[in-house]
Amino acid sequence: MFFEKIKNNHLLMSGFYKGVSGLSLFVSIPLLITYFGNDNYGVWVLVFTLFQWVLLMDFGIQSSLKTKIPVLLHNSKIDLLKSYIKTTYKISFYIALGIFALFILLLFFVDLKSSMNVSFHSQSFVNELFLINIFFFCINFVANIHKSLYVAFLKGKYAEESLAVNQFGFLFLVFAATLLFPNISVENKLILISLLNGLFCLLVNVLYTIRFFKLENLNLKTNEKTPNDFIKEILKLGSKFMIIQLGLMFIFTSDNYIISNNFGPKDVVPYDTVNKIFQLPIMILFAALSPLWSVFAKDYIDKNYIKLLDTFKKFNLYFIGIFLFVIVIAAFCPFIISIWIKEKLDIPNHLILYIGIATALRIYVTFYTFFLNGIGELNKYILILLISVVLKIPLTYYLIHLDFGINSVVVSTLILMLFWVIFIPYECYMIVNKLKKNE
């Protein structure tokens, strides 16, 4: 009975599956560093980071599913729901096609080799590597929709389960590649890992998409067409989600490119390594919290302000434990790196401390942004984020000028996040208290 309860708890199981994903990721990193070497692992990080942006270029269509589907289910509009899901797949396909075409054009006008300071590979190889990866990322961009559908139907653990299967499978494939193809050229190693990653990710996404429709006993057969007004409303909401997603991606992933551009790809490795260690609590907690997106939407529709305030209160108490957990990770970080990465890494002073503080603040803010995302109240959040995006680059370069080194990218983020911690939770409490007054 106890284990059955845990198994059916989507918050706990989402966190568990994300933990599996995180551990698989951490084990794969030293394998990749050893397989590629520091310089070429830096290139892999740059490639992979760039194409994370592709997954966000959906005009927020997939994020909107998590907010709108609970409303449609609440109102028993099943035919509209089916039509909406079909429209989402159709729009996502066109977006993926457009992104692929745009990137091919980009290769003719932008010198990726020079812009990323990759001096040890030919221009043709850099273009080939990026072209292979953009192809798979665009396909998986569409196949990835099942994750938002699971969350929207309040079954978020399956979204995280698919990620865990994908990450663990990729780890196995990387290990197999190191055994079977240890002596091929580094260019072929990068191509091989790109193919393995893209193909396996596609396979997992397709299988979990089929599983979703079987689990929900849902087919997309309907004569109802998605009304134009509804599509406009979705696109309006989706465009806000896309601004938020791109803003967050810019704040948290532009660091690799700033470091590469100012110091070189090799310097990306110590920063990325420390960052990956602190991503474990972020990944687990984000996964555990992600089902709350649609839960918040449902509670807000029901005007259940008591439950919302209680959830806020519980999280604030839990955050004390989360903060202590982050401190423990910071304390053991040098030891973890020493046994995790075989090659010696030169970790700048205070980098671990700065990333640890940024991790704790990010977790705290994310809980409250999930509430804003769930209820679609995004305007003030977007304003704060846009101001941060505008300030990020000049603030980082100013800190580089002051000789903060690669620490500059983290310190600039920390300064910006102090404002998030104040204003975003305040906005959430204002909204819930307004529900209470209007009862």
28 CB-near residues (< 8 Å, 6+ apart): 167, 170, 171, 174
> What per-residue confidence (pLDDT) applies to 173?
92
- The pLDDT confidence band at residue 78, using thresholds 50, 70 and 90, is confident
Amino acid residing at 242: M
Residue 189 has pLDDT above 60, yes or no: yes
Q: How far apart are CA 152 and CA 67, in angstroms?
A: 7
Angle in degrees, CA 358, 283, 399, rounded to 5: 25
pLDDT band at 296 (very low <50, low <70, confident <90, very high): confident
Tell me the pLDDT band of 308, cut-offs 50, 70 and 90: confident
371 pLDDT band (50/70/90 cuts)?
Answer: confident
Higher pLDDT, 90 or 25: 90
Q: Mean pLDDT across the stretch 280-307?
A: 74
- Look up residue 38 and give its two tokens: 């520091």
Residue 51 has pLDDT above 70, yes or no: no
Taking 90 as the threshold, does the pLDDT of residue 306 lie above it?
no
Q: How far apart are CA 295 and CA 289, in angstroms?
A: 10
Look at residue 55 and tell me whether its pLDDT is greater than 60.
no
pLDDT, tens digit, 9 for 90 and up, residues 404-435 = 888 888 899 899 998 899 999 999 899 888 88
pLDDT over 60 at 340, yes or no:
yes
Cα–Cα distance for residue pair 304/244, rounded to 1 Å: 26
pLDDT at 202 over 90: yes
Mean pLDDT of the chain: 81
